Structure 1
Amino acid sequence: MTPQEEIEALIARISMGDRKAFRALYERTSAKLFGIALRVLKDEGPAEEVVQEVFLRIWDRAGSYRANGYSPMTWLITITRNASIDRLRKMRSRGEATAPVDIAERLYDDKPGPEAQTVARDEARVLQACLAELTPERAEMVSKVYMHGLTYQEIADDVGAKLNTVRTWLRRSLLELRECLSR
């Protein structure tokens, strides 16, 4: 069974209230989802809270997941990204600043090892090659939304286009990227 099939099976079991499957899904995916939340929020405390909220949503919405050829991780990442952006908007609207980093966190070396760095470089190279197949404007939009946490509305305001137009552009761009990455 592939990792994708395993995660799909766990989600199916969660939709039937299987707590062991929920725990297994958490153990397999929480670190990656935390990384996504942290990338958007840039603060560990809110990122941890978002991951907790995300897993509550997964428990509640597992029945709505449909295995339709998309990676189940895409579904989980989308939930996490959206929850992180929602939290970021709330924090911005309240004028909250990120908490200062204490000395222990500055001294801790959490950098990936050589093997992980090599894999990450290879994946980044493939992604960059696929992004290069998009028009420069679309590649920049995808980067701003999915790597820097900007909202669709912020992109629409930035490029002077309607929100639905930006959504369409991004959806088409993501379809092109998915096709490229699957080659």
Structure 2
Amino acid sequence: MSGQGFHVHGPHDHAVEHAAHGSDGFSNNIAVMTAILATVGAAFGYLGGATQNDAAMFKNNAAIDKTEAANRWNYYQAKNARQNLAEVVMTLPGVDPKRYEADAARYKHDKEDIKKEAEKFEESAKEWNHKSDEAMHKHHQWALATTAEQIAISLAAITLLTRKKWMMGLAYGVAGVGLVLGALAWFGGH
């Protein structure tokens, strides 16, 4: 941060800023690599957040459909109780069974349609849950890719401070792992 000539920043920011204004090729390479990794990591983080939001939305849709299925099953049970009552009343002495046959038949017919609707909502809830599980799996892949890029950025900072070339190789290697994990998330690998 700067304001009227007063600068406050961390050692990594300081090293990156000086590398950008200097002629040190090693430091310049690390500075560019850090900027690229930060950009890639930010993109991976965004995609991870988006897939997590999708998973939550899909899980919500599953809950809505499961509730609707439960409502339909309750309605089915109410129709079943009415059908049973009509059938019992038909057997009572002094009651005209023809009067209740139509009611019993109607309740039986209504139950078939209600059962189909309840099963449709149950199946839809299963599909939404499956989509949610897939989105969470993809979210975890993006999170791993993001974490690898963040670790690579940290290794780049250590490289800049220690000036160890082997550390730069390690930072590139971890960044490469992050890119592979990101590619797997992008293309849907498991």
Larger radius of gyration: 2
Identify, as 1 or 2, the structure richer in helix. Answer: 2
Q: Give the TM-score range, shorter chain.
A: under 0.3
Higher RCO structure (Cα 8 Å, ≥6 apart): 2
Question: Which TM-score applies when normalising by structure 2?
Answer: 0.24
